[in-house]
Amino acid sequence: MDCIFCKIIAGEIPSFKVHEDDATLAFMDINPLTEGHLLVLPKRHVTGLFDTDEETLTATMAAVRKVALALKGSLGIDSMNLLQANGPWAAQSVPHLHFHLIPRREGDGAGMDWPLKPGDMDAIGKLREKISAAGG
Ligand code: DGP
C-alpha cells in the first residue's frame, strides 16, 4: 500500500518516535505548526474517522491521552489543540487516520480560533433532527 504513514509504521521511512505500543504509534510532525507538534495514529490502516472500527479508535485515543500528558509534563504547556482531519475539504493530506497534538502557548500566532457569530436557530434545529435521526 502506498501510504507514507504505513511506511513509517513498518520502519521503511524514519521518524522521531515518541510512543509505540501494539496498536498505535506517535511521532513528531515534520511540518510543525508549533514547537512539539506531533501525530498519534493507529498501526492499522484506516483512512479516517468514517471508516474506523471502535477498537482501533479506542486504542488510538488512549495513546492520545498518554502522549498529551507526556507533552504537558515535558514541555510545561497548559494548552493544546487536538485536531483530526477527514477528507480533502477538511485539509486532510495523508489518508491514514491521525490525530495532531498541537501545543499552544500565549501569542504563538497559530490561529485556529474563529469569530463567534449567531447562527440561524431554525436551520440549527432542522440539522439536529436530521443528524439525530441518522443515529447521532
Ligand atoms: P493532515 O493534513 O491532517 O493529513 O496532516 C498530515 C501531517 O503529516 C502534516 O502535518 C505533515 C505530516 N507529515 C507528512 N509527511 C510526513 C512524514 O513523512 N513524516 C512525518 N513525521 N510527518 C509527516
Helix (H, G, I), strand (E, B) or coil at 136: coil
- How does pLDDT run along the chain (136 residues), one tens digit per residue? 799 999 999 999 999 999 999 999 999 999 999 999 999 999 999 999 999 999 999 999 999 999 999 999 999 999 999 999 999 999 999 999 999 999 999 999 998 788 899 999 999 999 999 999 999 7
Is domain 4-133 given the CATH code 3.30.428.10 in the classification?
yes
Q: How far is the CA of 47 from the centre of ligand 1 (A)?
A: 14
pTM: 0.95
Contact 110, 102 (CB under 8 A): yes
Return the best residue to mutate from 5, 31, 40, 92 for the ligand 1 pocket (most ligand atoms within 8 A of CB): 31
Q: How far is the CA of 22 from the centre of ligand 1 (A)?
A: 21
For residue 83, the cross-strand partners are 100
Residue 34 in contact with ligand 1 by CB distance below 6 A: no
3-state SS class at 50: helix
Domain-by-domain residue ranges, the chain?
Answer: 4-133
Retrieve residue 59's grid coordinates: 486504542
* 88 touches ligand 1 (CB under 6 Å): no
- Residue 93 Cβ contacting ligand 1 at under 6 Å: yes
